[in-house]
């Protein structure tokens, strides 16, 4: 399975399916354990992400790291990606055609990593995964089910950088994530997804 993810990773780096490739510095496929129990899906890379080829490494990424630490997790415990893998010019919102062009990559990542919980960060990610009627303001912190995967809509960490009043809400929603994870561990004790090598978790950043 890790081999299939590697192929997708390589395809994203060379992708020309939409116009975003024309202005990107680096595509940002995502990173984390290929068998992660939790996946975070944001909107798209910003300037720092475009420069480094890694997701959530700017100010919003630092806040995401704090949020993870608040519930006892590290970045290396989760898989992090976006609905579009290349930065939209001037950090504009990704267009529907761009999201649609990139969506097969996201769906393949979800299928192959097979996380227990997908945290959709912000309305674009939430509506991409659940439908246009879903938004952060209406559904944040409310676990939803899609197939065998639990989708947890959340505000994007960047939202709190512009509206400090959202910080408490986002921290609260991460507590819900912790409860979901504890519940999953209770119903599935001692069933970590097996790594294909005896050397432990393989991560996509190692393939960069």
Asked whether residue 102 is assigned to any structural domain, the reply reads: yes
Task: Kindly indicate the confidence band of residue 194, based on its pLDDT and cuts at 50, 70 and 90.
Answer: very low
Contact predicate 43/126, CB 8 Å? no
Residue 97 falls in which region: left (phi positive, over 0), alpha (psi -120 to 50) or beta: alpha
What's the total number of domains in the chain?
1
Q: Which tokens go with 144?
A: 């939803």
Task: Kindly indicate the confidence band of residue 184, based on its pLDDT and cuts at 50, 70 and 90.
Answer: confident
Give the position of tokens 């420069």.
Answer: 51
Tell me which residue range forms the domain holding 7: 2-190
User: What local confidence, expressed as pLDDT, does residue 2 receive?
Assistant: 74
Rounded Cα–Cα distance for residues 202 and 194 (Å): 11
Distances in whole angstroms, Cα of residue 44 to Cα of each of 90, 93, 125, 168: 12, 8, 9, 24
CATH number reported for the structural domain that contains residue 20 in this entry:
3.40.470.10
Asked whether residue 208 is assigned to any structural domain, the reply reads: no
- Single pTM value for the model: 0.90
**What would the pLDDT profile of 128-160 be if each residue is shown by its tens digit?**
999 999 999 999 999 999 998 999 999 999 999
Q: Decide if pLDDT at 191 tops 60.
A: no
Q: Which of 11, 161, 158 is closest to 86 using CA atoms? A: 11
Burial class (CB in 10 A: 0-12, 13-18, 19+), 85: buried
């Amino acid at each position: 399975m890790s081999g299939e993810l590697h192929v997708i990773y390589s395809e994203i780096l060379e992708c020309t399916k939409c116009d975003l490739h024309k202005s990107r510095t680096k595509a940002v496929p995502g990173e984390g354990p290929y068998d992660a129990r939790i996946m975070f899906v944001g909107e798209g890379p910003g300037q720092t992400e475009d420069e480094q080829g890694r997701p959530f490494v700017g100010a919003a990424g630092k806040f995401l790291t704090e949020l993870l630490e608040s519930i006892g997790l590290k970045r290396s415990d989760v898989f992090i990606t976006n609905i579009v893998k290349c930065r939209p010019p001037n950090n504009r919102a990704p267009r529907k055609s761009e999201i649609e062009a990139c969506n097969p990559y996201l769906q393949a990542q979800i299928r192959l990593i097979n996380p227990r919980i997908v945290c959709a960060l912000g309305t674009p990610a939430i509506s991409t995964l659940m439908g246009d009627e879903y938004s952060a303001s209406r559904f944040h912190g409310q676990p939803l089910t899609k197939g065998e995967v639990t989708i947890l809509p959340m505000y994007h960490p960047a939202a709190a950088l512009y509206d400090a009043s959202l910080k408490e809400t986002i921290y609260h929603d991460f507590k819900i994530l912790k409860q979901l994870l504890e519940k999953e561990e209770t119903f599935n004790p001692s069933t970590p997804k097996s790594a294909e090598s005896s050397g432990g978790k393989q991560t996509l950043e190692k393939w960069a």
